[in-house]
């Protein structure tokens, strides 16, 4: 049994695709497939039904998924505790944060969260929402910082994770001030988020069934809000972008509202952690985090 087998198992269960799961795990698809087969061989049962459309969990796979994820988290917690006792980890805190929050919200929020108790060391991993969720599930980080919307439930199991609201943001439909998309509404180019993006899940929920009404024409997609902002600045289309990321561009007049305020999407910024006990330094930090506890819906 290897730890990476459990992590691969969880990733494939989430993505439902060997190609996408292998990309998220930063390994070639053949190597990823071999590791999944190795886990199934060790278990003595098939964990996935493989079809041309992808992979779905068997009944056995569904049964053991929560236990496999908890086992991976336990192993990482055990390592962290041993390193702290040995003085290697220096009471470090490990965060995973989506790209847009890593660049804008995280530094200022972390300073305010110290609240007179300086943090000895911090490790920040910045990636797409899908990868950040996997890091938290596997126990590779103690905390996840991400955008959330009340109507879009997280993919994390509510009996295993909890969160606190630590800030607010808003997605605004923006375009370049110099953009000229013509007079035909059917020609309005749309810059979209991919399925790996947490913001993409939220925007997709808000626009479901309304794309034709808005006459949006998908032109480009990325899981990075910063990339969509760059494309919008180049007059390539309209994108729903976090206000926290675009404040200076809006102030400078380089980005302007493309739709009225009724199309804005209010967001919450949440700090998420496992319900299981964390290291002493992580528990102390959680206790200092601002705002009241808000359980998953």
Q: Is residue 226 part of a domain?
A: yes
d(CA 108, CA 244): 12
Residue that terminates a domain, selected from 44, 68, 92: 68
Answer for the pair 216, 187: CB distance below 8 angstroms, yes or no. Answer: no
Query: pLDDT tens for residues 34-58?
Result: 999 999 999 999 999 999 888 999 9
Q: 33: domain range?
A: 3-68
**Rg of the chain on CA atoms, in Å:** 21
Answer yes or no: are the C-beta atoms of 237 and 189 closer than 8 Å. yes
Q: Residue 294 domain-assigned?
A: no
Whether the model pTM is above 0.85:
no
Q: How many domains does the chain have?
A: 3
Residue ranges of alpha helices (H) inside the chain are 3-15, 18-24, 29-43, 59-85, 99-103, 105-114, 129-138, 198-207, 211-214, 225-233, 243-251, 280-288
Residues in the chain: 297
Q: Give the pLDDT confidence of 74-89 residue by residue, as tens digits.
A: 887 777 777 766 665 5
Q: Which residues contact 141 (CB under 8 A, 6 or more apart)?
A: 94, 95, 96, 123, 125, 132, 135
Give dist(CA 89, CA 240) in Å, integer.
Answer: 39
Residue 95 lies in a domain: yes
Closest CA to 95 of 294, 290, 278, 291: 278
Q: What is the CATH number of the domain that holds 274?
A: 3.40.190.10
Judge if 209 and 231 occupy the same domain. Answer: yes
- The answer to whether position 296 is within a domain reads no
Distance CA 263, CA 68 (A): 41
Share of the chain above pLDDT 90, in %: 44
Strands 161-176 and 255-257: antiparallel
The verdict on 137 and 283 lying in the same domain is yes
Question: CA-CA distances (angstroms) from residue 275 to 137, 153, 279, 286?
Answer: 11, 17, 12, 11
pLDDT (tens digit per residue) in 139-179: 889 999 999 999 998 888 888 899 999 999 999 999 999 88
Q: Please, is 27 exposed, middle or buried when counting C-beta atoms within 10 Å of its C-beta (0-12, 13-18, 19+)? A: middle
Residue with tokens 């996840």: 144
**Final residue before a domain boundary, out of 68, 91, 118:** 68
Q: Which stretch, 16-20, 77-81, 199-203, has highest mean pLDDT?
A: 199-203
Instruction: Kindly state the tokens that stand for 51.
Output: 């079809």
Structural domain contains residue 274: yes
pLDDT band at 297 (very low <50, low <70, confident <90, very high): very low
């Amino acid at each position: 049994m290897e730890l990476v087998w459990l992590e691969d198992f969880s990733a494939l269960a989430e993505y439902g695709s060997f190609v996408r799961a292998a990309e998220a795990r930063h390994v070639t698809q053949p190597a990823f497939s071999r590791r999944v087969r190795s886990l199934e061989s060790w278990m003595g049962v098939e964990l996935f039904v493989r079809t041309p459309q992808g992979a779905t969990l068997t009944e056995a796979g569904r049964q053991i998924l929560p236990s496999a994820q908890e086992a991976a988290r336990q192993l990482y917690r055990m390592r962290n505790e041993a390193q702290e006792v040995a003085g290697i980890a220096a009471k470090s805190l490990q965060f995973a944060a989506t790209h847009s929050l890593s660049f804008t919200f995280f530094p200022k929020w972390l300073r305010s969260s110290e609240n007179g108790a300086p943090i000895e060391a911090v490790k920040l991993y910045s990636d797409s929402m899908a990868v950040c969720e996997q890091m938290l599930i596997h126990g590779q980080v103690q905390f996840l910082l991400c955008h959330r919307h009340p109507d879009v439930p997280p993919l994390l199991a509510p009996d295993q994770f909890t969160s606190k609201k630590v800030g607010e943001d808003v997605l605004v439909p923006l375009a370049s001030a110099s953009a000229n998309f013509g007079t035909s509404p059917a020609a309005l180019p749309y810059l979209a988020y991919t399925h790996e993006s947490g913001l993409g899940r939220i925007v997709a929920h808000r626009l479901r069934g309304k794309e034709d009404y808005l006459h949006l024409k998908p032109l480009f997609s990325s899981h990075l809000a910063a990339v969509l902002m760059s494309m919008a600045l180049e007059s390539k289309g309209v994108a729903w972008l976090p206000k926290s990321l675009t404040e200076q561009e809006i102030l400078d007049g380089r980005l302007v509202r493309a739709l009225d305020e009724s199309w804005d999407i209010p967001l919450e910024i949440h700090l998420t952690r496992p319900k299981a006990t964390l290291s002493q330094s992580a528990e102390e930090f959680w206790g200092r985090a601002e705002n009241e506890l808000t359980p998953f819906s």
